[in-house]
Chains A and B, each alone.
Chain A
Amino acid sequence: MNDERDDEMTPELATGLRGLRRELAPSDLLEERVVRALRERALLRPRRIWERPLRWAAGIAAALVLFFSGLTLGQRTAAPRLAAHRSPAVSPTGPTPVVEQVRQTGAAYVRAVSDLQGASSIATRDQGHQAALDSLLEAAEELSRLQPNDPVLKLVLRVLKKGAGTEPDLSSASRQIFWV
């Protein structure tokens, strides 16, 4: 820092220098004068008593908005995946995975049958129609094993088997259909 030799420095001068005041506070009025001058030049913003509480309130409001936005977004995006992979332990009151799978598969079946209407060739529609009936029959058989005494299911199964050529007598079934 200081690169001067001390050979010109007498003890009196060195002592005097050490005792020399380095700082002297100017008056408070000068501080206000300087601040005012800076405000007038738009170099400082005036301090307002409501500024800090308002800033806090704005911060809290922003945090709340962010939190609830995230929550809503998370629920929307995660709900389908949760529904698809939900386990009984996680959600005991909701549908089990098997039931949900039946629903989804059934919906896919209905959509596929519906799509047959848009098939370009008759052969495709016929093949699709037959495949749909076969699937329906298989499903009805599975259901009858699950609920053997369900009268509606019995009737449906009989009609389907008749259509598939596995049930010779359809008359009583037809009557039941009309009477049910």
Chain B
Amino acid sequence: MRPEPHDTESDARLARHVLREGSEPAFRTLYRRHSPALYQFVLRLLGSVSEAEDVVQDTWIRVVEGLPRFRWDASFRTWLLGIGLNRSREILRKACRSRGEAPLEIEPELPAPPLVERIDLEDAIQALPRGYRAVFLLHDVEGLTHDEIASDLGISAGTSKSQLYFARRVLRSHLKPKGVSHER
């Protein structure tokens, strides 16, 4: 990628350029700085490249539209990921409605994985039920607290904790070395 003159400027300063002048170079710098994290996050959450790309696009549109209201109490990246998460939830909700599932809610306790093969964590995360996956990604990968997750996902902090517990349990069982029986 070509270096931009805004590369060293802070998020707040770049956002101001975008907001006041509609500066495309400033936006591109912001985009290139934060999109890889956003894209990775929503791709893990949704498991689909095309859906993840749609979410990234919609998220940036919402971000630029929402800049006048952003108070900078949180970091720009946290705000961006929050918007990306909400957009992802909308997509998941839509997909689940069509399948008659409940999105991002407490999952029933999972049956034991049929295989005790050691698999890649990335694949294991993708194999998680969506509710577990969202909480696990937000907590263990993005570092949010249960209160923040509860606020973002519209669930209680207790639900967030229990989902994380089950998510880790499933992941642990997936990551057991070959030949070792998983816990249940």
A contacts, CB < 8 Å to B: 1-4, 8-10, 12-13, 16-17, 19-28, 30-31, 33-35, 37-39, 41-47
Asked whether, in the complex, the Cβ of B35 is within 8 Å of the Cβ of A47, the reply is no
* Closest beta carbon of chain A to B164's beta carbon, Å: 6
Asked if B24 contacts A4 (CB within 8 A), the reply is: no
The verdict on B65 contacting chain A, using a C-beta distance below 8 Å, is yes
Nearest B-chain residue to A9, judged by Cβ: B168
Instruction: Determine the chain B residues whose CB is within 8 A of the CB of A37 once the complex forms.
Output: 57, 60-61
Contact check, A19 vs B121: say whether CB atoms are below 8 A apart: yes
Shortest distance between the CB of B158 and any CB in chain A (Å): 13
* A25 and chain B: residue at smallest CB distance: B36
Contact B169 A1 (CB under 8 A): no
CB distance from B159 to the nearest CB of A (A): 14
Q: How far is the CA of A10 from the CA of B141 in the complex (A)?
A: 15
Q: How far is the CB of B9 from chain A (nearest CB, A)?
A: 16
Does B146 have its Cβ within 8 Å of any Cβ on chain A?
Answer: yes
Contact check, A1 vs B145: say whether CB atoms are below 8 A apart: yes
Question: Which chain B residue shows the least CB distance to A41?
Answer: B61
Q: How far is the CA of A42 from the CA of B64 in the complex (A)?
A: 11
Q: Does B122 contact A (CB under 8 A)?
A: yes
- A31–B35 contact, CB under 8 A? yes
A13→B172 contact, CB < 8 A: yes
Report the Cα distance A10→B39, complex, angstroms: 28
When distances are taken between beta carbons in the complex, the residues of chain A under 8 Å from B140 are 2, 4, 17
Chain B: minimal CB distance from A69 (Å): 27
A27 to B64, CA, bound (A): 20
- Prevailing SS type, chain A contact patch: loop
Q: A93 to B134, alpha carbons, bound, how many Å?
A: 87
Contact between chains at A20 and B141 (CB < 8 Å): yes
Contact flags B114-140 to A (C-beta < 8 A → 1, else 0): 000000011010000000000000011
B164 contacts A4, CB within 8 Å?
A: yes
Least Cβ distance of B36 to chain A in Å? 4
Residue of A nearest to B160 (CB): A4
CB distance from A139 to the nearest CB of B (A): 69
Chain B, range 139-184, C-beta contacts under 8 Å to A: 139-141, 143-147, 161, 164-165, 168-169, 171-172, 175-177
Q: Are A24 and B176 in contact (CB under 8 A)?
A: no
Q: Which residue in chain A gives the minimum CB-CB distance to B53?
A: A30
The 6 closest A-B pairs by CB, nearest first: A16-B121, A23-B36, A45-B22, A24-B40, A26-B39, A12-B175
Of A2, A9, A17, A23, which is within 8 A of B40 by CB?
Answer: A23
- Verify A22–B165 contact, CB threshold 8 A: no
Shortest beta-carbon distance from B42 to chain A in Å: 10
